[in-house]
Amino acid sequence: MQVCTLTASDLACRRGDRVLFRGLSLELRGGEACQITGANGIGKSSLIRIIAGLMPAFAGSVAVEGQIGLIDERPALDPQLPLGPALSFWQRLDGGAESAIERLGLANLLDVPVRYLSTGQKKRAALARLLGQKAAVWLLDEPLNGLDSQAVQLVEALAGEHLAQGGICLIASHQPFALEGMGRMALADYTP
C-alpha cells in the first residue's frame, strides 16, 4: 500500500451563521485509526466532507497523502441499475472487487435494482466499491447504519485488515466501533 498521512490543523466548520466546531487538529499515519464521536447534527459528516475536499473549511487546513475512499449516506451507485451493473461501472474505473462481492454477501443481489436494496445492503455495496478502489485513506461516515450484528463485525474486520496493510481509517459515528488501538475524538470538545 502507498504511504499515507492525514493531517487536519485548527479546523473550523460553519453552517449558515452557526459555527459547529473549531480548533480541531488531527494527525494520522498509515496503520492508524480515529473515531469521531458526537450527537446528531454536531458536525461529524461535515468534518468528513471537509477532509474529503467536498466542503470548504471555515478555518484551518487539511493535507492528505494517499488516495481517499469515502463512504457516506450516498452509496454512489445508480439507483436505476441492478446492483451488478452499478458495481461493474466502478470496477471498470477502480479495478476489481469480485472477492468483496462474495465476502459482503452481495452475490445473490446482483440483479436487484439498487433503489430496492435495504439500507444495510446499500452500505455493503458501498463497501464493495471502497474495497475495489484500493484507497489508502478511508473516510467512513456512519459506516454501521442499517447493518445487522454480523455485518457490523465484518465491517470492523475489514477496517482492521486495512490498517494492518498500512491504511488509515477516519470513522465518524455515534455507534460503538470495535477496532484495536483506535483513537477517539469527541467533537463536542471542539464546539464553541
pLDDT reported for residue 101: 83
pLDDT reported for residue 107: 86
pLDDT reported for residue 95: 66
Alpha helices (H) in the chain, listed in sequence order? 44-52, 83-94, 98-103, 119-133, 149-164
- Phi/psi for 4 (5° steps) reads -140, 145
Which residues of the chain have a pLDDT value below 50? Answer: none
pLDDT reported for residue 18: 92
- Domains of the chain with CATH codes: 5-190 (3.40.50.300)
What is the rounded distance in angstroms from the CA atom of residue 182 to the CA atom of residue 163? 10
pLDDT reported for residue 52: 95
pLDDT reported for residue 170: 98
DSSP state of 140: E
pLDDT reported for residue 97: 59
Count the helices and strands in the chain (H runs, E runs).
Answer: 5, 8
Prediction pTM value? 0.91
pLDDT reported for residue 96: 60
pLDDT reported for residue 42: 92
pLDDT reported for residue 93: 66
